[in-house]
Amino acid sequence: MKPPPFAYECPTEVADAVALLAAHGADARPLAGGQSLVPLLNFRLVRPAVLVDLNRIAALAHVAVEDGTLRIGAMARQAAVEAAPAVARGWPILTEAVGHIAHPQIRNRGTVGGSLAHNDPAAELPAVMLALDAEMTARGPAGTRAIAAPDFFTDTMETALDADELLTGIAVPALPEGTGWSFREAARRQGDFALVAVCVLLRPASGGGLNARVVVTGTGNGPVRVPAAEAILAARGAAGDACEAAGAAAAEAVEPMDDPHAPAWYRRRLVAALTARASMEAATGMEA
């Protein structure tokens, strides 16, 4: 199929893009990498009157570390993040997660900001940004505001962005020295959307002990933290059957549905297995 008719705008400055979104409101859609939007257009599942192409806004394409914080422009290509040595050194879980996104051809065009703003319920980047306590920067007619990851992802393919706001950047805080991490994913075929993906971070807590973060995606409306699994790992680490207990707690916490790709019971078993394996891997990483 072919997309419906639309007007096309191609600004080169963030301010101009924001002005276009404000002028057209809900009738406009920003175009980033196009890896999700273009298929939706071709199937006529979305019918914007105006496309605002962001690809010539050079100011949004950066990947840099500033004062220990990773700063990613919304238009940074996923492949650029995957290939960045600074990301691999300081945030290896992000490098690993990006490598699971579709295929290299997709990552060469797909953008970090586009994936986050699209918020597909099986996407890797929203899950890992939630695990990393990332902060999104949005710019609209009223100015700029910061949105913490837990507040940014609101529902299936929905975020806290207003119709006249543009996601411009992502800030990811530094991981403490000695952090253990793991990203595990199960898909039917290489490059498919995840049936289930799990992020686990184990960080040294101030005063001793562990700070655990467990995020699961592919089982509902988007990425979710699992406090019950986090509490088990924070208290027990990988001692005894703690990892299996964390997996069981994660499986109990999620609410998957049957769909053509996998039944709910299978996804629950995947959550349990992947959480247990990721917890063990993260704990081993702390000891290395």
Mean pLDDT of 32-45: 91
Tens of pLDDT, residue by residue over 155-187, are 999 999 999 999 999 999 999 999 999 999 999
Comma-separated ranges of CATH 3.30.465.10 domains in the chain: 61-172
> Does the domain made of 180-287 have the CATH classification 3.30.390.50?
yes
Bridge-based pairing of strands 166-172 and 50-53 is unpaired
Task: For residue range 227-256, list pLDDT tens digits in order.
Answer: 999 999 999 988 889 999 999 999 999 999
Average pLDDT value for residue range 6-29? 95
Which pLDDT score is estimated for 151? 97
How far is the CA of 43 from the CAs of 2, 49, 107, 117, in angstroms?
Answer: 7, 15, 22, 20
Q: Round to whole Å and give the CA distance between 13 and 177.
A: 38
Please provide the DSSP assignment of 54-104 as one string. -TT-GGG--EEEETTEEEEETT-BHHHHHH-HHHHHH-HHHHHHHTTSS-H
Please measure the distance between the N-terminal and C-terminal CA atoms of the chain and give it in whole angstroms. 53
In this prediction, residue 146 carries a pLDDT of 98
What residues does CATH 3.30.43.10 cover in the chain? 7-53
Residues paired with residue 171 on neighbouring β-strands, in sequence order: 71, 135
Alpha-carbon gap, residue 177 to 179, rounded angstroms: 6
> Would you identify the CATH topology of the domain 7-53?
3.30.43
Q: Which residues contact 26 (CB under 8 A, 6 or more apart)?
A: 163
* CATH 3.30.390.50 residue ranges for the chain: 180-287
Global confidence as pTM = 0.95
Fold exhibited by the domain 61-172: 3.30.465
